[in-house]
Amino acid sequence: MTTAIYPGSYDPVTYGHLNIAFRAASLFDKVVFALAINSSKKCLFTLEERLDMIRQGIAHYAKEKNLNDSNIEVTQFDGLLANFVMKYEKPAIIRGLRAVTDFEYEYQMALMNRYQNYQVDTLFLIASLRYSFLSSSIIKEIARHNGDYKKLVPPYVYGRLWEKFNNQSRENGKV
Ligand code: PNS
């Protein structure tokens, strides 16, 4: 049984992530969204919120595109990714590549993960053109300034972002 481990911060998950995960699900026996607990990034959403959004996002994407999501799991992990993947049968790390700008960071991570554990390989899927300009950071930036991002994230994620920024504005006395 082959397993694709799809690690990330998912703050929040976008259609770009979901597109990669479902494509991996047709290539591997199992796909595991692996949310890094100790990501060096400062996240807008809590761990539980991010897990919840991934789960809701998977269910929505599967329904909307009429895809099977029975071989997609969601979990969290602490510590090194190169160690965590060994819990699974025939694991490979999956990452999406959007543009050349992603390459350097991804190249460094793939090599470092293999340096930590020579059994671990990283496979890259090229992001679908329609989502290649998406990132969680840019979505948060647009959401913060009330821009248009409705079709770029699942409806549940859209609601959580909207809530987050509107409640924050209210708390800060801006609304
Ligand atoms: O979505 P991101 O933030 O680009 O994902 C980065 C992530 C979570 C995949 C990376 O930071 C990671 O693997 N963190 C776990 C700790 C680890 O193994 N770090 C060394 C990576 S070479």
Domains of the chain: 3-132 (3.40.50.620)
Residue-wise pLDDT for 77-97, tens only, equals 999 999 999 999 999 999 999
Around ligand 1, the residues with Cβ closer than 6 Å are 7-9, 36, 39, 41, 80-82, 109, 112-113
101 confidence band (pLDDT: 50, 70, 90)? confident
168 confidence band (pLDDT: 50, 70, 90)? low
Q: Which two tokens stand for residue 141?
A: 């930036």
174 confidence band (pLDDT: 50, 70, 90)? low
Report the nearest atom of ligand 1 relative to the CA of 95: 9
Ligand 1: which residue has its CA nearest to atom 16?
Answer: 80
DSSP 55-107: HHHHHHHHHHHT---TTEEEEEE-S-HHHHGGGSSSEEEEEEE-SHHHHHHHH
